[in-house]
Protein backbone atom coordinates (compact mmCIF):
# COMPACT_ATOMS: atom_id res chain seq x y z
CA UNK A 1 0.00 0.00 0.00
CA UNK A 2 2.84 2.34 0.85
CA UNK A 3 4.51 1.47 -2.45
CA UNK A 4 1.35 2.37 -4.36
CA UNK A 5 1.08 5.68 -2.49
CA UNK A 6 4.69 6.55 -3.30
CA UNK A 7 4.19 5.62 -6.95
CA UNK A 8 1.05 7.77 -7.11
CA UNK A 9 2.90 10.67 -5.47
CA UNK A 10 5.76 10.37 -7.97
CA UNK A 11 3.30 10.28 -10.83
CA UNK A 12 1.54 13.40 -9.53
CA UNK A 13 4.89 15.19 -9.11
CA UNK A 14 5.83 14.17 -12.65
CA UNK A 15 2.58 15.57 -13.99
CA UNK A 16 3.08 18.80 -12.02
CA UNK A 17 6.63 19.10 -13.41
CA UNK A 18 5.37 18.59 -16.95
CA UNK A 19 2.58 21.09 -16.32
CA UNK A 20 4.91 23.80 -15.01
CA UNK A 21 7.40 23.07 -17.79
CA UNK A 22 4.62 23.49 -20.32
CA UNK A 23 3.52 26.78 -18.75
CA UNK A 24 7.13 28.01 -18.76
CA UNK A 25 7.58 27.20 -22.47
CA UNK A 26 4.23 28.83 -23.34
CA UNK A 27 5.33 31.99 -21.53
CA UNK A 28 8.62 31.87 -23.42
CA UNK A 29 6.71 31.56 -26.72
CA UNK A 30 4.53 34.54 -25.76
CA UNK A 31 7.58 36.64 -24.84
CA UNK A 32 9.45 35.81 -28.05
CA UNK A 33 6.30 36.45 -30.12
CA UNK A 34 5.88 39.92 -28.58
CA UNK A 35 9.51 40.75 -29.40
CA UNK A 36 9.10 39.49 -32.96
CA UNK A 37 6.03 41.71 -33.32
CA UNK A 38 8.25 44.74 -32.63
CA UNK A 39 10.22 43.90 -35.78
CA UNK A 40 13.04 41.72 -34.47
CA UNK A 41 12.83 38.95 -37.06
CA UNK A 42 16.20 37.49 -36.06
CA UNK A 43 14.69 35.83 -32.98
CA UNK A 44 13.76 32.15 -33.04
CA UNK A 45 11.83 29.81 -30.73
CA UNK A 46 14.31 27.60 -28.85
CA UNK A 47 12.22 25.41 -26.60
CA UNK A 48 13.55 22.96 -24.00
CA UNK A 49 10.75 20.50 -23.60
CA UNK A 50 10.07 16.81 -23.71
CA UNK A 51 6.65 17.52 -25.25
CA UNK A 52 6.89 16.27 -28.84
CA UNK A 53 3.94 18.38 -29.99
CA UNK A 54 5.41 21.49 -28.35
CA UNK A 55 8.77 20.82 -30.01
CA UNK A 56 7.09 20.36 -33.39
CA UNK A 57 5.15 23.60 -32.92
CA UNK A 58 8.40 25.45 -32.16
CA UNK A 59 9.91 24.14 -35.38
CA UNK A 60 6.89 25.19 -37.42
CA UNK A 61 6.92 28.65 -35.85
CA UNK A 62 10.61 29.04 -36.70
CA UNK A 63 9.93 28.06 -40.31
CA UNK A 64 7.11 30.59 -40.40
CA UNK A 65 9.46 33.32 -39.14
CA UNK A 66 12.02 32.29 -41.77
CA UNK A 67 9.33 32.70 -44.43
CA UNK A 68 8.31 36.14 -43.17
CA UNK A 69 11.92 37.26 -42.84
CA UNK A 70 12.72 36.22 -46.40
CA UNK A 71 9.58 37.96 -47.61
CA UNK A 72 10.42 41.11 -45.69
CA UNK A 73 13.96 41.16 -47.06
CA UNK A 74 12.59 40.64 -50.57
CA UNK A 75 10.11 43.49 -50.15
CA UNK A 76 12.86 45.76 -48.83
CA UNK A 77 15.07 44.85 -51.80
CA UNK A 78 12.27 45.46 -54.30
CA UNK A 79 11.45 48.81 -52.72
CA UNK A 80 15.07 49.91 -53.01
CA UNK A 81 15.12 48.57 -56.58
CA UNK A 82 11.96 50.51 -57.39
CA UNK A 83 13.41 53.76 -56.01
CA UNK A 84 16.66 53.23 -57.90
CA UNK A 85 14.86 52.41 -61.12
CA UNK A 86 12.63 55.49 -60.88
CA UNK A 87 15.70 57.65 -60.30
CA UNK A 88 17.49 56.08 -63.26
CA UNK A 89 14.45 56.36 -65.52
CA UNK A 90 14.07 60.02 -64.58
CA UNK A 91 17.73 60.65 -65.36
CA UNK A 92 17.69 58.71 -68.63
CA UNK A 93 14.58 60.54 -69.82
CA UNK A 94 15.58 63.97 -68.57
CA UNK A 95 19.06 64.05 -70.16
CA UNK A 96 18.09 63.57 -73.84
CA UNK A 97 14.86 65.52 -73.37
CA UNK A 98 16.70 68.54 -71.92
CA UNK A 99 19.19 68.40 -74.78
CA UNK A 100 16.40 68.05 -77.33
CA UNK A 101 14.52 71.08 -75.96
CA UNK A 102 17.75 73.09 -75.92
CA UNK A 103 18.40 72.50 -79.61
CA UNK A 104 14.76 73.23 -80.49
CA UNK A 105 14.92 76.47 -78.53
CA UNK A 106 18.05 77.48 -80.44
CA UNK A 107 16.41 76.65 -83.77
CA UNK A 108 13.41 78.76 -82.84
CA UNK A 109 15.09 81.87 -81.46
CA UNK A 110 18.73 82.01 -82.65
CA UNK A 111 18.68 83.93 -85.94
CA UNK A 112 22.48 83.83 -86.21
CA UNK A 113 22.55 80.10 -87.02
CA UNK A 114 23.87 79.26 -90.45
CA UNK A 115 22.10 76.84 -92.80
CA UNK A 116 24.71 74.19 -92.00
CA UNK A 117 24.26 74.70 -88.26
CA UNK A 118 20.49 74.43 -88.60
CA UNK A 119 20.87 71.17 -90.52
CA UNK A 120 23.19 69.83 -87.81
CA UNK A 121 20.73 70.88 -85.08
CA UNK A 122 17.84 69.20 -86.91
CA UNK A 123 19.92 66.01 -87.24
CA UNK A 124 20.82 66.06 -83.55
CA UNK A 125 17.20 66.62 -82.44
CA UNK A 126 16.16 63.67 -84.60
CA UNK A 127 18.81 61.48 -82.99
CA UNK A 128 17.76 62.58 -79.49
CA UNK A 129 14.11 61.93 -80.32
CA UNK A 130 14.93 58.45 -81.65
CA UNK A 131 16.97 57.72 -78.50
CA UNK A 132 13.98 58.66 -76.36
CA UNK A 133 11.71 56.44 -78.46
CA UNK A 134 14.07 53.45 -78.09
CA UNK A 135 14.28 54.02 -74.33
CA UNK A 136 10.49 54.15 -73.93
CA UNK A 137 10.04 51.06 -76.11
CA UNK A 138 12.56 49.16 -73.95
CA UNK A 139 10.76 50.21 -70.75
CA UNK A 140 7.45 49.09 -72.26
CA UNK A 141 8.85 45.74 -73.41
CA UNK A 142 10.46 45.00 -70.03
CA UNK A 143 7.23 45.93 -68.22
CA UNK A 144 5.28 43.47 -70.41
CA UNK A 145 7.82 40.72 -69.81
CA UNK A 146 7.84 41.15 -66.04
CA UNK A 147 4.05 41.32 -65.90
CA UNK A 148 3.82 38.08 -67.94
CA UNK A 149 1.79 40.02 -70.51
CA UNK A 150 3.64 38.17 -73.22
CA UNK A 151 2.62 35.15 -75.28
CA UNK A 152 5.32 32.81 -76.54
CA UNK A 153 4.91 31.04 -79.86
CA UNK A 154 7.35 28.16 -79.62
CA UNK A 155 8.30 26.42 -82.84
CA UNK A 156 11.04 24.21 -84.20
CA UNK A 157 13.80 26.48 -85.53
CA UNK A 158 17.08 25.52 -87.21
CA UNK A 159 19.73 27.72 -85.57
CA UNK A 160 22.27 26.89 -88.29
CA UNK A 161 19.99 28.66 -90.76
CA UNK A 162 18.70 31.61 -88.74
CA UNK A 163 21.97 32.73 -87.10
CA UNK A 164 23.63 33.73 -90.43
CA UNK A 165 20.47 35.65 -91.38
CA UNK A 166 20.63 37.70 -88.18
CA UNK A 167 24.37 38.33 -88.55
CA UNK A 168 23.80 39.51 -92.13
CA UNK A 169 21.45 42.23 -90.84
CA UNK A 170 24.47 43.69 -88.99
CA UNK A 171 26.63 43.79 -92.13
CA UNK A 172 26.79 47.64 -92.30
CA UNK A 173 27.79 47.81 -88.63
CA UNK A 174 30.57 45.27 -89.08
CA UNK A 175 31.85 47.11 -92.16
CA UNK A 176 31.84 50.39 -90.25
CA UNK A 177 33.78 48.77 -87.38
CA UNK A 178 36.15 47.11 -89.88
CA UNK A 179 35.41 43.70 -88.41
CA UNK A 180 34.73 40.40 -90.13
CA UNK A 181 32.64 38.33 -87.69
CA UNK A 182 33.86 34.87 -86.72
CA UNK A 183 31.06 32.32 -87.22
CA UNK A 184 31.35 28.76 -85.94
CA UNK A 185 28.37 26.64 -86.95
CA UNK A 186 27.96 22.86 -87.34
CA UNK A 187 27.50 21.49 -90.85
CA UNK A 188 24.27 19.70 -89.93
CA UNK A 189 20.98 21.35 -88.85
CA UNK A 190 20.59 22.13 -85.14
CA UNK A 191 16.98 22.52 -84.06
CA UNK A 192 15.63 24.19 -80.91
CA UNK A 193 12.18 24.94 -79.52
CA UNK A 194 12.00 28.72 -79.46
CA UNK A 195 9.91 31.79 -80.21
CA UNK A 196 11.40 33.13 -83.45
CA UNK A 197 10.75 36.80 -82.62
CA UNK A 198 12.31 36.40 -79.17
CA UNK A 199 15.32 34.60 -80.60
CA UNK A 200 15.96 37.46 -83.03
CA UNK A 201 15.67 39.99 -80.22
CA UNK A 202 18.07 38.02 -78.00
CA UNK A 203 20.73 37.74 -80.72
CA UNK A 204 20.22 41.35 -81.83
CA UNK A 205 20.74 42.56 -78.25
CA UNK A 206 23.88 40.48 -77.72
CA UNK A 207 25.44 41.41 -81.08
CA UNK A 208 24.56 45.08 -80.54
CA UNK A 209 26.19 44.87 -77.12
CA UNK A 210 29.38 43.43 -78.64
CA UNK A 211 29.43 46.09 -81.35
CA UNK A 212 28.92 48.84 -78.79
CA UNK A 213 31.61 47.70 -76.37
CA UNK A 214 33.85 45.14 -78.07
CA UNK A 215 35.09 46.63 -81.34
CA UNK A 216 38.46 47.60 -79.82
CA UNK A 217 39.54 43.96 -79.97
CA UNK A 218 38.68 43.75 -83.67
CA UNK A 219 36.98 40.38 -83.23
CA UNK A 220 33.34 39.52 -82.67
CA UNK A 221 32.11 35.98 -83.00
CA UNK A 222 29.20 33.63 -82.56
CA UNK A 223 29.22 29.85 -82.13
CA UNK A 224 26.80 26.99 -81.51
CA UNK A 225 27.51 23.97 -79.32
CA UNK A 226 25.47 21.02 -78.04
CA UNK A 227 25.23 19.80 -74.47
CA UNK A 228 22.91 16.80 -73.93
CA UNK A 229 19.36 18.15 -74.40
CA UNK A 230 20.50 21.76 -74.75
CA UNK A 231 21.99 23.94 -77.45
CA UNK A 232 24.29 26.76 -76.35
CA UNK A 233 24.84 29.96 -78.30
CA UNK A 234 28.05 31.87 -77.53
CA UNK A 235 28.49 35.51 -78.55
CA UNK A 236 31.93 36.95 -77.83
CA UNK A 237 34.20 39.89 -78.40
CA UNK A 238 37.77 40.82 -77.47
CA UNK A 239 37.11 44.37 -76.35
CA UNK A 240 37.64 46.10 -73.00
CA UNK A 241 35.54 43.50 -71.25
CA UNK A 242 33.64 43.62 -67.97
CA UNK A 243 35.44 44.06 -64.61
CA UNK A 244 34.77 41.39 -62.01
CA UNK A 245 32.79 43.79 -59.79
CA UNK A 246 30.35 44.46 -62.63
CA UNK A 247 29.63 40.82 -63.53
CA UNK A 248 27.00 40.16 -60.78
CA UNK A 249 25.03 43.24 -61.90
CA UNK A 250 25.36 43.02 -65.66
CA UNK A 251 21.75 41.83 -66.14
CA UNK A 252 20.26 44.31 -63.64
CA UNK A 253 17.87 46.98 -64.88
CA UNK A 254 19.59 50.10 -66.17
CA UNK A 255 23.03 48.83 -65.16
CA UNK A 256 25.56 50.12 -67.70
CA UNK A 257 28.86 49.63 -65.92
CA UNK A 258 29.67 53.34 -65.75
CA UNK A 259 32.94 52.71 -63.96
CA UNK A 260 34.37 50.63 -66.76
CA UNK A 261 32.76 51.64 -70.01
CA UNK A 262 32.80 54.74 -72.16
CA UNK A 263 29.68 56.73 -71.24
CA UNK A 264 29.32 57.96 -74.81
CA UNK A 265 28.69 54.38 -75.90
CA UNK A 266 26.16 53.35 -73.26
CA UNK A 267 22.71 52.21 -74.29
CA UNK A 268 19.56 52.24 -72.20
CA UNK A 269 20.91 49.68 -69.74
CA UNK A 270 17.82 47.55 -70.39
CA UNK A 271 18.98 45.43 -73.32
CA UNK A 272 20.65 42.72 -71.28
CA UNK A 273 17.83 42.69 -68.74
CA UNK A 274 15.33 42.12 -71.57
CA UNK A 275 17.62 39.46 -73.06
CA UNK A 276 17.79 37.55 -69.76
CA UNK A 277 14.00 37.70 -69.39
CA UNK A 278 13.44 36.42 -72.93
CA UNK A 279 15.89 33.53 -72.47
CA UNK A 280 14.38 32.47 -69.14
CA UNK A 281 10.80 32.73 -70.45
CA UNK A 282 11.76 29.98 -72.91
CA UNK A 283 13.22 27.74 -70.22
CA UNK A 284 16.83 28.65 -70.88
CA UNK A 285 19.51 30.46 -68.94
CA UNK A 286 22.19 33.00 -69.78
CA UNK A 287 25.70 33.47 -68.38
CA UNK A 288 28.62 35.82 -68.91
CA UNK A 289 32.36 35.45 -68.44
CA UNK A 290 34.92 38.12 -69.10
CA UNK A 291 38.66 38.60 -69.06
CA UNK A 292 39.14 42.33 -69.78
CA UNK A 293 40.98 43.05 -73.03
CA UNK A 294 41.04 39.33 -73.86
CA UNK A 295 37.59 37.82 -74.27
CA UNK A 296 34.03 38.44 -73.09
CA UNK A 297 31.47 35.68 -73.76
CA UNK A 298 27.70 35.84 -73.36
CA UNK A 299 26.24 32.32 -73.52
CA UNK A 300 22.59 31.26 -73.49
CA UNK A 301 20.99 27.85 -73.88
CA UNK A 302 17.76 26.62 -75.40
CA UNK A 303 16.05 23.22 -75.41
CA UNK A 304 16.68 21.02 -78.41
CA UNK A 305 13.78 20.70 -80.83
For 143-174, the pLDDT digits (tens) are 777 777 777 888 999 999 999 999 998 998 99
Q: How confident is the model at residue 266 (pLDDT cuts 50, 70, 90)?
A: very low
| 230 & 285 share domain | yes
For 172-207, the pLDDT digits (tens) are 899 988 998 999 999 899 999 999 988 999 999 999
What is the distance between the alpha carbons of residues 168 and 162, in angstroms, rounded to a whole number?
10
Average pLDDT, the chain: 80
Q: In terms of Cα–Cα distance, which of 150, 148, 167 is closest to 159?
A: 167
Look at residue 296 and tell me whether its pLDDT is greater than 90. yes
What is the distance between the alpha carbons of residues 180 and 178, in angstroms, rounded to a whole number?
7
| 137 & 158 share domain | no
Q: Select from 119, 150, 181 the last residue of a domain.
A: 150
Residue 184, domain CATH: 3.30.565.10
| 198 & 176 share domain | yes
When pLDDT is averaged across residues 15-44 and rounded to a whole number, the result is 69
When pLDDT is averaged across residues 272-283 and rounded to a whole number, the result is 89
| 274 & 297 share domain | yes
Lowest mean pLDDT among 98-112, 206-220, 265-279: 265-279
Within 10 A of 36 (CB to CB), how many other CB atoms are there? Answer: 18
| 97 & 181 share domain | no
Look at residue 96 and tell me whether its pLDDT is greater than 70. yes
When pLDDT is averaged across residues 30-34 and rounded to a whole number, the result is 75
Burial track 168-197 (b if 16+ CB lie within 10 A, e otherwise): eebeebbeebebebeeeeeeeebbbbbbee
| 209 & 270 share domain | yes
| 105 & 16 share domain | yes
Q: In terms of Cα–Cα distance, which of 264, 109, 71, 233 is closest to 163?
A: 233
Alpha-carbon distances of 18 from 10, 25, 29, 68, rounded to whole Å: 12, 10, 16, 32
Q: Select from 150, 181, 215 the last residue of a domain.
A: 150
| 146 & 159 share domain | no
pTM of this prediction exceeds 0.75:
no
| 216 & 283 share domain | yes
Q: In terms of Cα–Cα distance, which of 304, 276, 131, 303 is closest to 201?
A: 276
Lowest mean pLDDT among 47-51, 242-246, 268-272: 47-51
| 144 & 194 share domain | no
Residue 46, domain CATH: 1.10.287.130
Containing 113, the helix (H) or strand (E) segment is none
Look at residue 263 and tell me whether its pLDDT is greater than 50. no
| 8 & 97 share domain | yes
pLDDT for residue 160: 92
Number of structural domains, the chain? 2
* Parent domain of 258: 154-303
When pLDDT is averaged across residues 281-299 and rounded to a whole number, the result is 91
Look at residue 250 and tell me whether its pLDDT is greater than 60. yes
Q: Select from 92, 120, 150 the last residue of a domain.
A: 150
Look at residue 16 and tell me whether its pLDDT is greater than 80. no
| 172 & 298 share domain | yes
Amino acid sequence: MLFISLALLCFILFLLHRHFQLIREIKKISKITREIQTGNLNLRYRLRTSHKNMEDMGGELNRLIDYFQNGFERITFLEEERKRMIANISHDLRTPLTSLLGYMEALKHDSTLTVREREDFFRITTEKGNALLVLLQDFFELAKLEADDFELKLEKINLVKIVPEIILSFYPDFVKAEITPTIKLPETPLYVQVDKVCLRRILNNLLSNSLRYGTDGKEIGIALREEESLVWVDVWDRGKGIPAQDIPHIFDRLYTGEASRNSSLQGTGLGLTITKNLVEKQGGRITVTSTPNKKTIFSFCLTKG
